[in-house]
Structure 1
Amino acid sequence: MEINLSSRVALITGAGSGIGRDFARILAESGASVAVMGRRAEQLAETVVTITDKGGRALAVPGDVTSEEDVQRVMAEVREWGGRLDILVNNAGIYPSGSISKMSDETWASTIDTNLTGVFRCSRHAARLMSEHGYGRIINVTSPSSLLGALGQSAYAASKAALNSFTKSSAAEFGRRGITVNALLMGVVATDSFVGEYSATAVKALTAGLPVRRAGTADDAAGALVLLASEASAYITGVVLPVDGGMSNVMPTLPS
């Protein structure tokens, strides 16, 4: 089955770089008109260029998911530009590392505000727009840290575990409006920000015991992303789908 999203308008948060930029590209390659949101206007402009250079349609809408005012403004701009909103990918997130005993209240609060409350803000306003046409696809980006204990990742893991639950609750609420809500549980992806926060050595160590024996890429999730963004997923909702090379479901393998 070939999926064509040419009649759909999508918004991806945290799309200035990394997974968000790649997800924007992937949806555009499937035909969607793509609006990209993030805090850094220059990076968003680069994302738009990667799409328009290949004949796609894209719009940069700078904004911060921790700001209710920004979220409302971005939603209004997307509606004016695209005439509607069909797909929301909640990708914006931060993952500061640190021990519980030394983590500041500010770090904890900012992580929850970005990774969880930001999704709440965007989903709430997106659902209102989607309800106007009785159709919508909301896709949240979560992590194996939401299921597994991760040293130094208490705030991030808590935010993503709560996001898993929020995905299911919002699926239950929005389904009657024709809106499905699912999550992609992304494993280790060696983005610049991930390597910068940890290291290339950490990436190698985290992926050495995976059944697939490598880090993932956004393109590894392309099939799942496009499916969940399309009409073909009409009967799929409330699902947290691992795209993590087995990290959350398989014991680490021993060297052969």
Structure 2
Amino acid sequence: MDNYFDLTGKVAVITGASSGLGADAALAYAKAGADVALLARRVEKLDAVKSEIEKTGRKVISVVCDVTEEESVKTAIDTVLNAFGHIDILLNNAGVAVRGGVDSMTVEEWDKSFDTNVKGIFLASKYVIPQMKERGYGKVINIASVNAIIADKFDMFIRHSYNSSKAAVVGLTRGMAASYARYGITVNAIGPALFESEMTSSTLFKSEEFLTKYNTMNPAGRPGNRGELNGTVLYLSSDASSYVQGQFIIVDGGGALV
């Protein structure tokens, strides 16, 4: 039987690859046979992830990139194309979670969410999609959030700009999927729930009250563990999902069901 999850010969680009779910996904790509380009802002963090991937024997480069700045993204994608010649997979993972409700947030805080979570996907896709269209093949995976469809009523965890920007990611995914399917490009989104990462370990995971409530409400009774998102990422990045288009797959232990 064919190994539909084999990524040998593929080139994967991951934004927000310096830590957390992005770093985990990058290593999973390498273990599946792909060569990897790591994009993020922090050089020292990127280099640490790069060292781990080098141990797999796959080719890997790290490129400093701010997904909110067009010239930075364009330069980064040009660097990847010069190094590998093509891009097969784009994992739009860079994101931020800004706390606050519409009655208390500043315009700058609101814009920060949309600049990173939505504009960042637009810019990376803008410079990757054209060569995918030319080659007639591509896999684009956008990391949204279960918070695109559910929200938290507890005051200390209200994140209105996060909710709305992640919902926008789902809408953008559907639009891109419909437009680019004819070119052999699949575009799908993933909606993780709570996973421990650099972004959540200093906030959500430090609140015993929040974790108790989360675990009580979630059918799985716990947050996601490191690596539990990788299967969905690999599925949507491989030929196993060749006829899957414009979907929003929630990985949340069943939390959205209740």
Q: TM-score, structure 1 length as denominator?
A: 0.94
SS at match of 1:132: helix
Percent identity, aligned pairs only, is: 34
CA distance in 2, matches of 1:63, 1:204: 37
Q: 2:21 touches 2:229 (CA, 8 Å); kept in 1?
A: no
Q: Where does residue 234 of structure 2 map in the other structure?
A: 226
| CA apart distance, 1:194 | 0.5
Q: Where does residue 136 of structure 2 map in the other structure?
A: 134
| CA apart distance, 1:145 | 0.9
Equivalent residue runs for 1:110-125 within 5 Å: 110-125=112-127
Q: Does 1:168 align with 2:170?
A: no
Q: Where does residue 10 of structure 1 map in the other structure?
A: 12
* 1:172-205 residue CA offsets vs partner (Å, 9 max, x unmatched): 0111111000011111101132021333323443
Of residues 95, 103, 109, the one that matches 2:105 is: 103
Q: Which runs of 5+ in 1 are unaligned?
A: 252-256
Of residues 135, 150, 153, the one that matches 2:152 is: 150
Q: Where does residue 209 of structure 1 map in the other structure?
A: 217
Q: Which runs of 5+ in 2 are unaligned?
A: none
CA distance in 2, matches of 1:164, 1:218: 23
CA distance in 2, matches of 1:60, 1:26: 16
* 1:54-94 residue CA offsets vs partner (Å, 9 max, x unmatched): 32321101110000001101110111111100000000000
CA distance in 1, matches of 2:42, 2:86: 24
Q: 1:207 to 1:123 in 2, by over 3 A?
A: farther
Number of aligned residue pairs: 250
Of residues 20, 29, 34, the one that matches 1:32 is: 34
CA distance in 1, matches of 2:215, 2:245: 29
CA distance in 1, matches of 2:136, 2:198: 38
CA distance in 2, matches of 1:228, 1:143: 16
CA distance in 1, matches of 2:20, 2:216: 22
* 1:82-116 residue CA offsets vs partner (Å, 9 max, x unmatched): 11000000000000112321210000011101000
Q: TM-score, structure 2 length as denominator?
A: 0.93
Of residues 78, 82, 85, the one that matches 1:83 is: 85
SS at match of 1:241: strand
